[in-house]
Amino acid sequence: MAASEFAEWVRHFETERDRRAAGPDPSWESGARLAPAVQASIRRFQLGEDGDGADLIAKADAAGDPHYAAAVRLFEDEEHNHARLLARLLEAGGATTLTGHWSDTVFGRLRRSAGLRAELLLLMVAEVVALRYYRALRDGTDDPLTSEVARRILADEERHVPFHCARLRTSIAELPRGARRPLLAGWRLLLLGAGLVVAADHGRALRRLGVGRGRFVVDVTRSAGPVVAAILGTHPPRVPGEAAEPAAAAPPALSRRR
């Protein structure tokens, strides 16, 4: 992808950063009513959002496109804000954050050992799963503060998927034609595996939010089609699944479809 197109992403991320800074935080003082299963689930997702992103930033720098590197830094800033929002939500509900979990450790090691292309593919697994999870949290909770936090995070995640698709589209195109679809078929299997793991580990919370384990896995795997099409260039980069709200200042080529 041309550097000028990632410059557009930089402008978009900066617009979102400025909008976020100008607006108020959620009303933490109202408190949060978190069912035990949902609270435990949020603690796990908060830990996953709380990585430092240093390895991805270093790989983006090494890729040689300063606009892309700048956009990755802004993306990581949004991820850190997600961790902050979830930590404040847990605090409002009388809970603490986790200091570690085996799944986060394994995922972090895999990402650090990978090159940029492989790390982005792994990251896209997490992002697509997160789309369905935060939609469930937004729509299934009866707690207004939880719903508001989930809505804010989901709006960001829906932009992150086409952002990573944009970079992967160029990266996958560098591979021999015969290797592209097998690689993405493997990615689909990895996404299915991740969906199954999350459904098993967070099943009680998902049921509390009105989403059964099977429905969660089906929705996650169905999201793979638009992602693969965007990466292969057979469909413009777009958000898989349901959009939370209209795109705010989104790049024209990445406008959402319901």
The residue type found at 203 is G
pLDDT at 55 over 70: yes
pTM for the full predicted model: 0.86
DSSP 8-state secondary structure symbol assigned to residue 29: G
Q: What is the pLDDT of residue 252?
A: 34
> ∠ at Cα 86 (85, 92), nearest 5°?
90
Q: What is the pLDDT of residue 239?
A: 35
**Band of pLDDT at residue 186, cut at 50, 70 and 90:** very high
> 232: domain CATH number?
1.20.1260.10
Asked whether 28 and 91 are in contact (CB, 8 A), the reply is yes
What's the whole-number mean pLDDT along residues 163-181? Answer: 94
Q: What is the pLDDT of residue 220?
A: 97
List, for residues 103-148, the tens digit of each pLDDT value: 666 656 666 657 899 999 999 999 999 999 999 999 999 999 999 9
List, for residues 77-110, the tens digit of each pLDDT value: 999 999 999 999 999 999 999 986 656 666 566 6
- CA-based R_g, the chain, Å: 18
Q: Is residue 60 part of a domain?
A: yes
**Band of pLDDT at residue 54, cut at 50, 70 and 90:** confident
Q: What is the pLDDT of residue 233?
A: 83
**Band of pLDDT at residue 255, cut at 50, 70 and 90:** very low
For every residue of 178-227, DSSP letters joined together read: HHHHHHHHHHHHHHHHHHHHHHHHTHHHHHHTT--HHHHHHHHHHTHHHH
Q: Is residue 57 part of a domain?
A: yes
Q: Is residue 154 part of a domain?
A: yes
Q: What is the pLDDT of residue 88?
A: 98
Q: Is residue 251 part of a domain?
A: no
The residue type found at 112 is R
The total number of structural domains in the chain stands at 1
Average pLDDT, the chain: 87
Q: Is residue 164 part of a domain?
A: yes
Q: What is the pLDDT of residue 48?
A: 85
What's the whole-number mean pLDDT along residues 235-247? Answer: 44
What's the whole-number mean pLDDT along residues 5-11? Answer: 90
DSSP 8-state secondary structure symbol assigned to residue 252: G
State the Cα–Cα distance between residues 212 and 206, nearest whole angstrom.
6
Strand segments (E) across 27-149: none
Q: Is residue 194 part of a domain?
A: yes
pLDDT at 76 over 50: yes
Q: Give me the domain span that covers residue 42.
A: 3-17+34-244
Q: Among 123, 12, 119, which Cα is nearest to 74's?
A: 12
Q: Is residue 78 part of a domain?
A: yes
Q: What is the pLDDT of residue 258?
A: 31
Q: What is the pLDDT of residue 99?
A: 82
Q: Is residue 253 part of a domain?
A: no
